[in-house]
Amino acid sequence: MLVYIDGQFYDEKDAKVSVFDHGLLYGDGVFEGVRAYNGRVFKLSEHIKRLYDSAKAIMLKVLISESEMIESVLEALRKNNLKDGYIRILITRGEGSLGIDPITCARSSVIIIADSLNLYPEEFYETGLAIISASVRRNSPDVVNPKIKSLNYINNIMAKIEARQAGVLEAIMLDRNGYVCECTGDNIFIVKNGVIKTPPVYLGVLKGITRDFVIEIARDLGYIFQEEIMTQYDIYTADECFLTGTAAEAIPVVMADSREISNGNVGEVTKSIIKEFRLRVAQEGWEI
């Protein structure tokens, strides 16, 4: 596998960063995860826009333009002969001295890793996931705004550990008032009385590109959609539940905190969204 670092491609064993990179020392940087399906990169410009917005929010100057970034992502896929895959883009503050102050970091770094992806096992797309709610809360928008895809995912990682300890693969993260935000790497949706709902972004949720895409699909399929504040009660008593993310795509949830959602089977609305999702991702996107 060849990895892009600051304009050059390196064999994966030689693709290394300095131990003085503030991305490593402080989680000082931002990232994106992007997917390629069937020789096309899905929603590439949306991901790049969000990446540069994340960088702007933390005052991180990216040394290449958005169009150079797009071309480098496509090049990384070509160099690795990938038609389907997952692309991780990182921008780190770069090498500096020990000490928080980013002024010591002369140049930010761009890293692009194009690889294949371990999805959730395929069976869960058929039978649905069980999830728990984590005790660790999602970052508040007045602290590290979840809209920023920062390299610091400690809260989410701790929530993931709780999920693993409970024997499941994902965890719901609540905000500081106990409202449902999202999962550790996915947005959450419910279906109740025919209406598709997801928590509003202002609560402190990543504005997922898959979330936006699923909202578009839901409307095109004629469903009523609304953003709505929700609690664990609303998840437990929902008719259906599913998660969305670049890595997860759209995946059903059938159990939350040991309560079966509805009768514990994957719902019809969820099935229709997943079906349409798969149809569309294979057709649209930037050609590699």
Binding residues (CB under 6 A) for ligand PXG: these are 33, 156, 182, 185-187, 206, 208-211, 244-247
Q: How many CB atoms are located within 10 Å of the residue 91 CB?
A: 27
Nearest approach, Cβ of 153 to ligand PXG (angstroms)?
7
In terms of CB distance, is 105 or 274 closer to ligand PXG?
274
DSSP assigned state of 150: B
In terms of CB distance, is 84 or 265 closer to ligand PXG?
84
Q: Which listed residue (43, 149, 160, 197) is catalytic?
A: 149
Nearest approach, Cβ of 104 to ligand PXG (angstroms)?
28
In terms of CB distance, is 105 or 281 closer to ligand PXG?
281
Nearest approach, Cβ of 156 to ligand PXG (angstroms)?
6
Q: Which two tokens stand for residue 4?
A: 């892009």
Amino acid, res. 249: E
Nearest approach, Cβ of 244 to ligand PXG (angstroms)?
6
In terms of CB distance, is 22 or 50 closer to ligand PXG?
50
**How big is the chain by its Cα radius of gyration, in Å?**
19
The neighbouring-strand residues paired with 16 are none
Question: Going by C-beta distance under 8 Å and a sequence separation of 6 or more, which residues neighbour residue 109?
Answer: 5, 6, 17, 21, 23, 90, 91, 92, 94, 95
Question: Going by C-beta distance under 8 Å and a sequence separation of 6 or more, which residues neighbour residue 165?
Answer: none
**Which ranges in 58-140 belong to alpha helices (H)?**
66-79, 123-127
DSSP assigned state of 116: -
Round to whole Å and give the CA distance between 179 and 233: 10
Is 43 catalytic? The answer is: no
In terms of CB distance, is 96 or 138 closer to ligand PXG?
138
β pairing state of 2-5 and 109-115: antiparallel
Nearest approach, Cβ of 186 to ligand PXG (angstroms)?
5
Round to whole Å and give the CA distance between 202 and 45: 23
Enzyme catalytic residues: 149
